[in-house]
Each structure stands twice: as structure tokens, then as C-alpha cells.
Structure 1
Amino acid sequence: MDNPGFHGAFYEATVSARLPCSGGYEVMYSTLVEGGGGSGPLREIVAQRDLRPRPAVAAEEGMWGAPRREFNVFDMVEANHREGWWPGVVSAAWPARGREARYAVSFPSCRDAVELPASLVRPRRAFVRGRWMDAREVVSRFAERMGSLIFFVFPLCAGGGQEKNPLDLFGALFVMDY
């Protein structure tokens, strides 16, 4: 979706037509429906630059019997939220104790935060030069190349920081040259 409110989010869709005159594609979304009382899947024209192949399922996502990767606070993730995969940062983690682990994920792009089961959280990825890469690898390569210091800033919630609700924390990634 080419809308500022959806920056960084990925929605699964099927290409239904190529539009040679405009160089764009018509897509049909798997999880979004037409507005205004429509009952069919949402169809939209998108630019080629906005299309990505579906990421391969990694063993760390818990498929094929592999143990699911556990996340820590400040890990960069994608969370299945609002019918798509949104980039976020883990702001709290509750380990699995006889049940599925849960994570509080903050979404800086839309100033939202939710608590989700581990099955709806996966490692953040970036599409670089035609392939999906773990975002940690992309950030570390960028830092090595640029000679930069990268850190997260999480402002405390109002009230002097005494009542730290993890859902009130929003992260920002800063790149500082030194």
C-alpha cells in the first residue's frame, strides 16, 4: 500500500494483472477487503518497486518442528497486526511457561503497541538487492561500512518513569557518525 500510514508494513497479495502501459501491477490482497460494503478482496494498482516476493520461511520461525526463536527486549521484529506484517521493536517479553511465549511489540511508525503470542511475531527482514536478509545483518553491515554508532532510544512514559508500562515505550533507531 502506497500510503504514509502503512509505511514499512507488508500485506500478502496475489498479482492479478500486469499493466504494461503504466509499468504497474494489479494486486488482490489476501487479508484486506473492499471498503464501502464490498465483500470481495481489495484490489489495487501498485508500482513494481512496491512488490516483494514472499519471504522464505526460516527454521527460526518454528516451522517443520524446529524450536521457535525467542526474542529479547529491543529486538527488531515484524508482527502480524492489522491484517499485515508491521515492523516493530520488542518492548517486553514473557517466556513460555507451559504455554506460548508472549511479546509486547511497539510500532514506532504508527505510535501503536500490542501484546501478541509468539506465533504472530517473527524476525524483522529487509529486502536488499533482490533477497530477504535478517535486519540484524543489514544493520551490522551498514554500521561496519559507515563507521557509525547505532543505538535505540526509548523514552520513559509520563509520570517520572516510575510506572513503566512496556506498551508505552516507542523505539527509534538513530545512526550517529563519529
Structure 2
Amino acid sequence: MASKPEICSSSAASTVFRPGTLVEISNNVDGYYGSWFTGKIVRCLRGHKFVVEYDKIMVDDEGTKGLQETVNRSQLRPIPPEEIIQDFQVGDEVDAYHNDGWWKGRISESFGGGMWAVYFKDWSEQQAYSDEQLRRHHKWVNGSWIPPFPQQDDDTEIKETAREKAPETVTGDKVDFKFKPGTLVEVCSEEDGFKGAWFCATLIEPKAGWKFEVEYDSFVDDEDDYKLLREEISIFHIRPVPPKTDDIDEFKVLDEVDAYYRDGWWVGVVSKVLGDSKYVIYFINSNEEMEFQHSELRVHQDWVDNKWVMASKV
């Protein structure tokens, strides 16, 4: 017998994600990581899941019926407010409208006349976009946008929900991070099966084409087991080592964390608290769940606009 749909509770999340609400949906299918597509909530299910219907992804050739699928709450966010000023610069993290969705990238070059080259690290390629096809990149974390939208001052339902129900969002100070040989960093990989993970490395020397040679801390060279592996990595795949955060006695369901696995830190969401300092972590990029000890987890932080940001604990 099929389980009954769960009636949406009065929590902050269900207030924002009620049936009929317009949302953006992230897709964890391979090749779509980092993209967001518009749709609406059809109904709530048990276990923090929702049935959604896409606006632009259709199930028929005539384009009259939107695709419906079940997604986790971590794959949903409200429609971002429109920004009044779009003053882009080289190096900005942006979302580019491509193939009916918004894809995360970084502006790598200005062509002038409102045209920009955007570099997508998951594809390792650049494409040209106009001002109208770009928006500044933001994340929806615990009921708040990071970085915040400065013009979001009206008494909208989302703002009231974030203010009254959700933890405050904390933004760290600017970090003076320079690409210098010998600097300890974390590096993300482009290879299938490794997306969503960060690996410790050391900067060795700059290379042409916005790249830097790095030496991994935990990977050895296939041709010489006595040497650590070195690779040329795009600077857009490199970030400083995250600062140490206050110790967390216990993580909660839906906390965003990094889990240490296969010599790297993989971003995920706590889906179950098992007790005895054990948790089940859901990884959106691979659509998998795994069990971890508390000591194998750290608070997730994002490197945004040369500073570390995270959701505070209350």
C-alpha cells in the first residue's frame, strides 16, 4: 500500500515550501550538478521529501506536461529575488541561464558591451553570455540567502519566515588569500565520481591558462609510489583551507556538513541521527547515503567572495 502524503507542518521549511509554491530545484543527475531549474511544489511527502513539477522540463513532445519527480528538501530553494543592480566583474561567481536552467560558473573575461566569458569548472570550459543571461550566485542556507540580497527590504513572506524561524546567517571577514607557492589549499576535482569533494594539497608553481601546479597530501604518483601526485589545476578549483570552527556536540537533521571519506572532504546533509555519535549523511551529487562517526564530520563552509560563510548554530 502506498504511503499517504504528509500534511505540511508549520515549520519554517514547510511554510516556504507549501504545495503550489514556485521554487528552484537542483538536479543530482550526472551532468547537471550545480544547476537549478524552476518548478512548483505539488505535494509534501514523509521524510522531508516533496513532489515537484518542472516548468521547462517536459514529459511529452508537445511541451504541455511538466516532468514530476520526488526530491529531498535539500534540493529546494525559493525563487531568488531580482537584483536591482547587476554590476558584474571578472572573478564574480554567477549563475548563467543555459538549457532552461541556471548553472553555477565564474566570470573569467570581459568582452565589453555587456558580454562576458563564464568558466564552468564542472565542464572545464568557457561560454559567452550577456548581462541579461547572468545573475549573481547566491545560496539558500537555513532560510537565508548567502550573500544576502541588499534590496530585499519589503515584508515578503520569505523574509518574515527567515527572520522569525531560521537561524541567523553568519558571514566571515575577508581573507587575504594569495596564490603563492607553498600555500596549503583545498582542491576540488573535475573527474566523475569525485565531484563534490575537496582534497588537501600544496601550491607548487603557477602555470599558463589560469592554472597552478599542486601537490596532493594523500595521493601518490601512479608511476612512482615514493612521490606525491602533482597536477595542474584551474585556480577556480582552488580555495584556502577552511578555518577551524567551534566544536559541535551534536549535529542535527538537515545540517550541512563535510564528511571525510577516501582522503577528501565530501559535502553532504545529515539525514539521520543514529545516536552513539553516528550519523547518516546524504550526498546530493551521488544520491547516496553513508554512515559516519561524529569525528569524521566538520561544519560545512562555503568560500564566497574571498570569505568563508556558514549557517550559525542557535
TM-score by length of 2: 0.41
| Contact 1:73-1:92 within 8 A present in 2 as well | yes
Distance 2:57 2:178 in 1: 36
SS in 1 for 2:82: coil
Q: Which residue of 1 aligns with 2:4?
A: none
Is 1:10 aligned to residue 36 of structure 2? Answer: yes
Q: Which residue of 2 aligns with 1:160?
A: none
Is 1:34 aligned to residue 59 of structure 2? Answer: yes
SS in 2 for 1:171: helix
Q: Once the 2 structures are TM-superposed, how far is the Cα of residue 5 of structure 1 from its aligned partner?
A: 2.5
Which protein has greater RCO, CA pairs closer than 8 Å, 6+ apart?
1
Following TM superposition, where does structure 1 have runs of at least 4 consecutive aligned residues deviating by more than 4 angstroms? 150-155
Out of 99, 115, 128, the position equivalent to 1:82 is: 99
Q: What runs of 5+ residues in structure 1 fail to find an aligned partner?
A: 61-68, 158-168
Identify, as 1 or 2, the structure richer in helix.
1
Which residue identity is paired with 2:31? Answer: G
Matches within 5 A, 1:24-63: 24-34=49-59, 37=61, 39=63, 40-60=65-85
| Matched-pair identity in % | 21
Which residue identity is paired with 1:44? Answer: E
| Contact 1:19-1:26 within 8 A present in 2 as well | yes
SS in 2 for 1:85: strand
Out of 117, 120, 123, the position equivalent to 2:130 is: 117
Matches within 5 A, 1:122-133: 122-133=135-146
Which residue identity is paired with 2:71? Answer: V
TM-score by length of 1: 0.68
Q: Once the 2 structures are TM-superposed, how far is the Cα of residue 142 of structure 1 from its aligned partner?
A: 4.2
SS in 2 for 1:115: strand
SS in 2 for 1:119: helix
Q: Which residue of 2 aligns with 1:91?
A: 108
Distance 1:120 1:6 in 2: 18
Q: Once the 2 structures are TM-superposed, how far is the Cα of residue 15 of structure 1 from its aligned partner?
A: 0.8
The C-alpha deviation readout for 1:44-68, integer Å capped at 9, x for no partner, is 11011211111111212xxxxxxxx
**Number of matched pairs:** 149
Distance 2:30 2:144 in 1: 24
Q: Which residue of 1 aligns with 2:290?
A: none
Residues 24 and 128 (structure 1), Cα distance of their counterparts in 2 relative to 1, 3 Å cut? closer
Structure index of larger Rg: 2
The C-alpha deviation readout for 1:99-153, integer Å capped at 9, x for no partner, is xx11110111232321011101111112122111228xxxx93465xx7737699
Which residue identity is paired with 2:177? Answer: L
Q: What runs of 5+ residues in structure 2 fail to find an aligned partner?
A: 1-26, 149-169, 180-186, 188-202, 210-233, 244-314
Residues 148 and 72 (structure 1), Cα distance of their counterparts in 2 relative to 1, 3 Å cut? closer
Identify, as 1 or 2, the structure richer in strand.
2
Q: Once the 2 structures are TM-superposed, how far is the Cα of residue 32 of structure 1 from its aligned partner?
A: 1.4
Distance 2:45 2:235 in 1: 40
Distance 2:241 2:83 in 1: 32
Residues 155 and 74 (structure 1), Cα distance of their counterparts in 2 relative to 1, 3 Å cut? farther
Q: Which residue of 2 aligns with 1:176?
A: 241
Distance 2:144 2:107 in 1: 24
SS in 2 for 1:49: helix
Q: Which residue of 1 aligns with 2:208?
A: 156
